[in-house]
Structures are given as C-alpha cells and as structure tokens.
Structure 1
Amino acid sequence: GADQPHSDAASASTSAAPERAAVGEGQGEPDALTGVTFTEGDGGAPTVEIDGEIDTDQPTTRVLTAGEGEQVQEGDVLQMSIAVVDPASGEVVAENFSGEPEAVPVDDQLKSMNPEIHEMLVGNGAGTIVAAYSPEYDVSVPQTESASPSASPSTQTQPAQLFVYKIDAILPKQAEGEEVTEGDERLPDVTVDEESGRPSIAKPDGEAPQELVVQPLIEGEGREVGADDTVTVQYEGVTWSDGEVFDSSWETGQAITFSLNRVIEGWKEGLAGQKVGSRVLLSIPAEKAYGEQGKPPAIGENEPLLFVVDILDAQASATPSAN
C-alpha cells in the first residue's frame, strides 16, 4: 500500500512482493477516473463510458479490475491489450483487444518512458485492468534557423489522452514443451542449467554445415512464427570456431523483443515456421550471418555461428504501444 516506505532497502528485499492494488487505487488522483467504465467486447473492440468529465491536471492511474493471476515482477515480459481512448467522448480511437496482445517488457526502459504504468504493473496480477490518464501539456517546438534570435520559442499543446491497459498474461521465462529426441549429429549438444534454466551450447566439434540447419530441441504449442513477425526471445550465440559465447540474453535474464526484419538472415529464415514456446538450435553459415567482414572483435571473417533460441512470443504487426 501507499504507507510502505519506498527505501532502497525495502525494494531490495526479496521476501515481500509488492502488494496487489485494489480496485480504485492508483497514482495521481485516482478518484478523477471514478466515472470511467470499461467493457471488453466479446472478441471485438471494447467500449468505454465516461460519466462526467475527467478533472485532474496530474498523470493519473486507477485500477478498474484487480487481476487474480500470477503477480508481475520486474524483468517479466507481459502480454498486454491496450486501448487508446478520447477522454472527452469515450470513443476508442485504437485498440488491440480484438487482435493480438502486445509483448511489453517490465524493465528500466518502461520505467523511464512511463513510470506510472511501470508502477501499476509490478505486483499486480494477470487479469488486471488499469485506466491511465495523461493530461494535456505544452511541448516546446524547436525554432527554425530563419527565426530571429529574439523570437520566443513556440509551444504545441499535446491533447489529453486516456489509455486502458489489461495484463493478459505473463510470458514464460523460457521455452516449455515436449523435448525433441532426434537431433542432427553434426551439431553440438545443448545442456540446461537445472537451477537457472539457462541452455548452453557445448564446444563445437568438426566442420560447420555449409547450409542453414534448424534443430528443434523443445516443440512449443503456440502459433507459427511468420517471417516478418516481431518476436520475444531468450538466446545465446557462440562461434563455431571456438565455442566462445559472444552474445546472450541470459546474462541479464531479460528477454529481448525485435522484428525478424532487423536481424541476420539465418535468424529470419531459421525462426520462420517454428512455433511459439519452442527452443531451437540454429547453425548459421557465414553468408547468412555476418559474412566476409564478420563483426569484430568477437566474430571473425567468414565465421559460422550457433544460436540456441527460446521463442517466447511472436506478433504479426504493430499495435498501440505501452511506451
């Protein structure tokens, strides 16, 4: 609750998880959002009714529904549905409740971009629905070079906005599913640390395959990944020549989200068609990785690579964003 001291010592303690917020709680002036009623559409767009007007000049959040599910922790990646609402009329301007939820990492970036939402997420459970109001504010517009030095900087007013966020689910930290027993004998073994769940690739032996090899290790049960999807993954990469780890999300334990249109060709080809929830081992020839130039100092010229990738989520297209 609000009466707890927010000291470093308190936040560093692992014994006490943040309390779940009750309906009506929030930051700023939650009572100003008492008139907001949110109704989920049955597979379609949600509706919002606003009784009276929202009267506050503070960034404000209010819990509309307290979720009973697993509590959100720092470092989790959430599946969230988001609606952008006109605070004057209640009209839903954009939403993904009727489509696919968005993967939202609860991390330092969210904390700096949207501290109110970060605070509302941590400690609350899956199923929680929160209204968030952003009052209108003025933004300075940079002067054009032709403006006289004495001209006063002009401002632009950002209109007030209302958002509704729902925590649909917390993504698993690693791949979960049926283990695949048959493997390609040309590829090194992958072992898993029992405590952390972190997979590691054994030092490769012999020549790298000339072609891209995709070896499923765990068969997920989610939807198939599309070649242009945005994926959320945990991964580790090693060089074929010496088995040295050059990149790993497991160092921080924080899953990474990116578009398959912004990665090396071997990732795009290798992950397309795999199912969410899977763990795959990719053996990528240099021409589908960093090619002749490599990526110094860790990846030399014409270096084939190995990645073990846990596919935690995949989304087809851009949706309203929590940032």
Structure 2
Amino acid sequence: MPFAASKTAAAATSAAALLILTACGQAAAPSVSPSEATPSASPSASTSPSPSASTKPIKPSNNLDAITVKNPKFGATPKITVKAPWAIDQTRVKVMTEGKGPVVNPSYVFVNYLGVNGRTGKEFDGNFGKTSTMFDLSSVVPGFKKALEGKKVGTRVLVAMPGSDGYDSQGGSEQAGIKVGDTLIFVVDIVDTVLTGPTGAAITPPAGLPTVTEANGKPTITIPKADPPAKMIAQPLTAGTGRKVTAKDVIAVHYVAVSWKTGKVIEDKTTGVDGGLLSSTIPGWQKGLVGKKVGQRVLLVLPPADSYPKGSNNPPVEAGDTVVYVVDLLYATAQG
C-alpha cells in the first residue's frame, strides 16, 4: 500500500505487520489461527497427527434430527446437545440462519464456531464470545469446507461430519479428545469475508476525469490529454454494499496506480490482496477513502501534495507528478 512518505521506516514496518492478508492477523481483525489454548481442536487441517485408537463403531444417522441447538439464531452463543454416542453417515449441513451478505471469499472467511464430539457429546473447541477467527478454506478439514463454501456472510450453519471428513487423516487429536472415527458437530457463524472485487451498481463519473475500463476483472486507467487538476479528486465508480470506512480502520484492497505525466502503470496490486492501516497511507488515500463503502471502486486523482510531494523511488514517482489510483475497497475493520 502507498504508505505516507513522512512515516518513519519503523512506523511503516509496524503498519505492514498489521496487514491482515499477508501477516494473517491484526489487533482488531480475527487471527488466522484458532484458539491457542486448544490448537489441535480447531477445524484447521494443519493439526499435527497424534496417535489415537479407533472407537467402537456407532450406527450412523442419515440426518441431523438428534442434534438440538439452544440459541439457534446468528450471533447468539449456541449450546449443542446430542445423545451420545452419536455418528453421521456423511457430512450433512443445515442452514439455520440465511445470510444476506456477500458470498464468502474461500481464502478469507471470518467465523465464530462451536465444536462438539458426537461420540462423547462434549464441547472440544469454540470461540463464541471471543475474537472471530479467519480461515482459508483450503486449509481446513473437508467437512468444514463443505459447510462454508458458497455461503453468504450472516449465515449460521449446523454441520456434522464423519471422521473421514474430520480428523481421521491426522490420526485424531489426543489433545482435544478426538479419536479416529469420531463424528464432529459444529455450529458456525460466518461473520465476515474479504470481497473478491467491487460491488454495487456502476457510477458514471463526470467528464474530463481519467477513464477506467475493465478486462478480466482488472482495471485499466487512461489519462486524458489535459493538465492534471490542482485539487485531489475521490470519485466512486461503484456504489459498494458494505460499511463505511473510517480513519482508524484497517483496510484490504486491490489497486492500480498510473502516472499522469507518462500514463504508465507505476504500481499494480490487482492480484492477491494488500492491506494495512489507512492512517499510515499517503494523505490522498486518508482523505479520499474515509466515508467510502466497502465494495466501492474509487478513482483517486492525487496532486503531489496529496501523494508524493518530493517524488518516490517505490513506487517510481517523479517530483511534481500527479498519481491516479483505482482502489477496490474489499474489507475494513476498526483497529483494536
């Protein structure tokens, strides 16, 4: 991200350490790892194998009717009850609350969850009442992935998974009391996600601004044959669908930057995701993105005073040049 030139290297390093999508965690946003108190009890597929004897076979059910969830609505701390020992024949999912938010980005799903072992009927992990946890669905156990992929933010699901979709491949989890063959039951709230691109209806900008076209999801900026404006411009190009960004937020973005003088791309962060403290970026970002909505694509035309007054080596900006950005606001959360 375009950190302010006036920031010290130490400050920039500190802000960079908060990048939620490269460091995978920050003060206000969920951590990429589950509860440290029970690391082997989370849905993470990276759990170290531990020797665990197979359990006596239990006749598996083909439905979730035996499971009772107290406080079933999204956001409420659930209580899962099942008459143990109990097992399921295959991963089965029930949507308890249908969310209305965006479909989850598989790489960045923020959740609250509670896990119960079907064999014992006992809870083995959960984070309700704590900070939400961020998961990459490619790194969780198969049953957890099946339960969440394609769902929307605001959804609560009940899922039961046989050992084959749980911890069997890891030999169970001795620390969590999970044996090979154990059915695992989870209630999961999908709290948030990082968008994959801009959302909302397109907004037609005034004439005379740089034009923005898109091919394969990637924006291209064309500079008009005119002198750059004397004052900065922050023009939304889509309406967005999320919360408004505040000055104290940590944000995640895609963006591309072009030199007004040359028309050439000087920075391209349209693949992967970049993020950090908005307050650590250049003045034009701080002024231009506050009040914009998550999901908005924003055109920023930044004269030198709002970008790099003395120029910059990284990105390569000549002193006196105006920099044009297209920024896709993919996520924002308050700094803790």
Q: Please, what TM-score do these two structures have when normalized by structure 2?
A: 0.54
Letter in 2 for 1:179: A
Matched, 1:247 2:267: yes
Matched, 1:264 2:282: yes
Structure 1 equivalent of residue 204 of structure 2: 181
RMSD of the TM alignment (CA)?
4.7
Number of residues of Structure 1 aligned to a counterpart in Structure 2? 242
Distance 1:222 1:66, change over 3 A: same
Q: Residue 256 of structure 2: SS of its match in structure 1?
A: strand
Q: Which moved more, 1:78-87 or 1:172-181?
A: 78-87
Question: Shift of residue 260 of structure 1?
Answer: 1.1
Please point out which of 270, 280, 284 is paired with 2:298: 280
Question: Shift of residue 173 of structure 1?
Answer: 2.5
Larger relative contact order (CA 8 Å, sep ≥ 6): 2
Rounded to whole Å, the distance in 2 between the matches of 1:302 and 1:135 is 63
The question of whether the paired residues in 1 share the 8 Å contact of 2:193 and 2:331 is answered with: no
Distance 1:64 1:248, change over 3 A: farther
Q: Which runs of 5+ in 2 are unaligned?
A: 1-42, 56-66, 85-89, 116-121, 161-165, 168-172, 177-185
Structure 2 equivalent of residue 81 of structure 1: 111
Alpha-carbon displacement from aligned partner over 1:8-57 (angstroms, at most 9, x marks no partner): xxxxxxxxxxxxxxxxx99568x99xxx986566464413458899xxxx
Alpha-carbon displacement from aligned partner over 1:47-102 (angstroms, at most 9, x marks no partner): 3458899xxxxxxxx97846699xx99x7454422358996797845145xxxxx7
Rounded to whole Å, the distance in 2 between the matches of 1:118 and 1:204 is 51
Residue identity (%): 28
Matched, 1:191 2:222: no
Rounded to whole Å, the distance in 1 between the matches of 2:242 and 2:310 is 36
Rounded to whole Å, the distance in 2 between the matches of 1:249 and 1:279 is 14
Matched, 1:303 2:321: yes
Structure 1 equivalent of residue 257 of structure 2: 237
Structure 2 equivalent of residue 8 of structure 1: none
Question: Shift of residue 200 of structure 1?
Answer: 0.8
Structure 1 equivalent of residue 232 of structure 2: 212
Question: Shift of residue 201 of structure 1?
Answer: 0.4
The question of whether the paired residues in 2 share the 8 Å contact of 1:46 and 1:92 is answered with: yes
Q: Residue 220 of structure 2: SS of its match in structure 1?
A: strand
Letter in 1 for 2:312: G
Rounded to whole Å, the distance in 2 between the matches of 1:285 and 1:84 is 50
Question: Shift of residue 135 of structure 1?
Answer: 7.1
Question: Shift of residue 270 of structure 1?
Answer: 0.7
Structure 2 equivalent of residue 124 of structure 1: 149
Question: Shift of residue 293 of structure 1?
Answer: 4.4
Q: Which moved more, 1:83-92 or 1:280-289?
A: 83-92
Alpha-carbon displacement from aligned partner over 1:113-136 (angstroms, at most 9, x marks no partner): xx4469954883425567999876
